[in-house]
Chains A and B, each alone.
Chain A
Amino acid sequence: GESVGLHLPTLSVQEGDNSIINCAYSNSASDYFIWYKQESGKGPQFIIDIRSNMDKRQGQRVTVLLNKTVKHLSLQIAATQPGDSAVYFCAENLNSGGYQKVTFGIGTKLQVIP
């Protein structure tokens, strides 16, 4: 869901290991979810998306898992690389009468240790 925080959660991962970034969303009616990567001083970059009728979707080195029962979304990054260091945001989309409402999570900072 939508949260404002002063301190981003941080995940430190050794280069080559797998990373798992978690997100709890707020609205059980949300029907579409997106993961974004934001590098310092840049705009968010689309990584992967998933619809609510799916529970898993894979991309290149990334997998998104959706658990609607507990309103939980996760992003798995395989063989994490230094270039993966960034802040990762999940976003939930609610389609309400043709109006799209997107809400961003608070973000998780991923630090890759060389």
Chain B
Amino acid sequence: GAVVSQHPSWVICKSGTSVKIECRSLDFQATTMFWYRQFPKQSLMLMATSNEGSKATYEQGVEKDKFLINHASLTLSTLTVTSAHPEDSSFYICSVGGFGTSGGLETQYFGPGTRLLVL
């Protein structure tokens, strides 16, 4: 599989500030990374697909101007939550595509997540 890290693991910020979350693929060059958010006791909701060297593809209902994604290299994607508000408090998780045990690159390997709390 792929090894994925995220930084920071925890962030607390004031309402109105911007927060940047980094996602790194440590052992795999990822042309595509994925960003999810997860509210307590709920499933993962795909926010956007991050494409290296091009614009991210956002899911319906996700504001691209609020959740800025930059995928400048094959190992790093960043998610910036701009003008954060308390309702943005959530668990943000990134993933990269990699080989599963059945072959193919459809398997996603996840980072440890970043918990954001907006006061």
Contacts and interface: CB of A to CB of B under 8 A. Distances in A.
B41 A4 contact: no
A46 B41 contact: no
Interface residues of A, number: 32
Contacts of B112: 42-43
Interface in B52-106: 93, 95, 97, 100-102, 104-106
A50 to B, nearest CB: 7
Contacts of B6: 43
Interface residues of B, number: 27
B43 A46 contact: no
B107 interface: yes
Given A46-B109, A102-B108, A41 B45 contact: no
A5 interface: yes
Given A32-B102, A34-B107, A49-B101, A44 B44 contact: yes
B46 A102 contact: yes
Interface of A: 2-8, 32, 34, 36, 41-46, 48-51, 57, 59, 89, 91, 93, 95, 100, 102, 104-107
Interface of B: 1, 4, 6, 34, 41-46, 93, 95, 97, 100-102, 104-113, 115
